[in-house]
Amino acid sequence: MSVQTELWQGQFDKLFIGGEWVKPSSEATFEVIAPATEEVLARVAEGTEADIDAAVAAARTAFDSGPWPRMELAERIAVLTRVSEALTARQDEVARLISAEMGCPITLSTRMQSMGTRMLLDAFLELAPQYQWSDIRRSVTGNALVTREPVGVVAAVVPWNAPLQIAIIKLAPALLAGCTAILKPSPETAMSAYLLAEIFEQAGLPAGVVNVVVAGREVSEHLVRHRGVDKVSFTGSTAAGRRIAAICGEDLRRVTLELGGKSAAILLDDTALDVAVPIIRALSLRNTGQVCSNKTRIVVARSLRDELYDRLREMAVSMPVGDPFDPATEIGPLVSRGQRERVESFIADARADGNKVLVGGGRPEGLDRGWYVQPTIFADVDPNARIAQEEVFGPVLTVHTFDTEAEAIEIANNSDYGLNGSVFAADPAHALAVARHIRTGTVELNGTPAGFFAPLGGFKNSGIGREAGLEGFDAYVESKSYGLPQSLLDTLA
């Protein structure tokens, strides 16, 4: 049976604008291609600048004169609670759709792409009443009511590797704050964005509050520079983030950027490899390496080097590569032919530069269709090598050895990125002491996740701003101060 016949069939020839499924202004389409089979799953409408104008106008009207920003927080929570309930009811459908369109192994797709999306939304729903939407400040110089009011119309530009989870990390706090939005998904994973639009529609979101337009680079740039947009929130490559920041800077438009990573996992000399290696397996090669927070640089004490290499070889060859719909699969296909070519060029260049392949380095046998690459690990890599400095975004790891903790910290910080990292040690307090020197937005101690109540984001070239947690609301509000006469102060106190 074709994968296509097993999936939800959306209105892919339409765009979701102003609460309706409308005909696009051109006949152009994008092909959504299954990375595992190379078959066309759908042809989705390709938005034009005119479609972006219509979507921005709908969001602008919904913000300027619609009910959404004027609702009580509890009312907005009620609508998004229905979205959460729908994501729960359609959990398997969401997972299968994302596995089909971007190749994420179904077990991970269920846990991260589907359940994780709903859990992230639930975290925002729980945190929203705790956020300080207003407070009164008294001083000898004056008394003020300080409020956090919605920033306005938000352009949410999301990538293909975790399409719904990243959409929700932007849309949930924006909508709870009272903003309206245009969601611009990646063409590779447009189908799941259509499904999300249907869920919003059925949950009773007012017209124009969320609009969905799939578009290419030039049209997306039109959205980013649109004068009707108050805020841009982008997740993607650092190169694209620089371009977006430059465009937003022209009009002083607010911008949040969650960009690339080249995160390091430090294994101190007392690390229990029985603990560390399974975590490396789970958190360094997730989603076939296509996660910006993956720990792709393994920084190991020299005393553990040989044993670690033996374990990493065993790990890599024991990870099933293949059909993303097989629950046993751990390494699926890369999202596109172009992405595989990019990853393979990194591997070829690293070999040409003299780097030693510990395991992998080619295409898996017996998989003649689909965009597959073996999990690949390079040993004893110079920390300054290109393969150790640039984000590959595929199942490729590098290993680096150190003699002192100072050297380990230096290697970990030897990067233009600063998104994530890990420190492993027998004593978690020791791991924390080392982690305090790592210049990244998150450091996981012995692989312990920070969770959705903590902010996510990076130092250096990994971005600007934070998402998730209470801090996730900050990106979608403007602080406003009201000077209060004493008589009014008494009534508000």
Please identify every residue annotated as catalytic. Answer: 258, 292
- Is the CB of residue 21 less than 8 Å from the CB of residue 11? yes
Residue with tokens 């919605």: 150
What is the rounded CA–CA span in Å between residue 410 and residue 406? Answer: 6
- Tally of CB atoms within 10 A around 320: 14
- 236 phi and psi angles, rounded to 5 deg: 165, -155
- Tally of CB atoms within 10 A around 254: 18
- 161 phi and psi angles, rounded to 5 deg: -80, -30
Which residue from 81, 180, 171 is spatially nearest to 126, judged by alpha carbons?
81
Residue 370 makes CB contacts below 8 A (sequence gap 6+) with 35, 36, 37, 38, 103, 333
DSSP of 385-437, one letter per residue? SHHHHS---SSEEEEEEESSHHHHHHHHH-SSEES-EEEE-SSHHHHHHHHTT
Q: Rounded to the nearest 5 degrees, what angle is found at the Cα of 473, between the Cα atoms of 92 and 477?
A: 135
Pairing of strands 210-212, 180-184: parallel
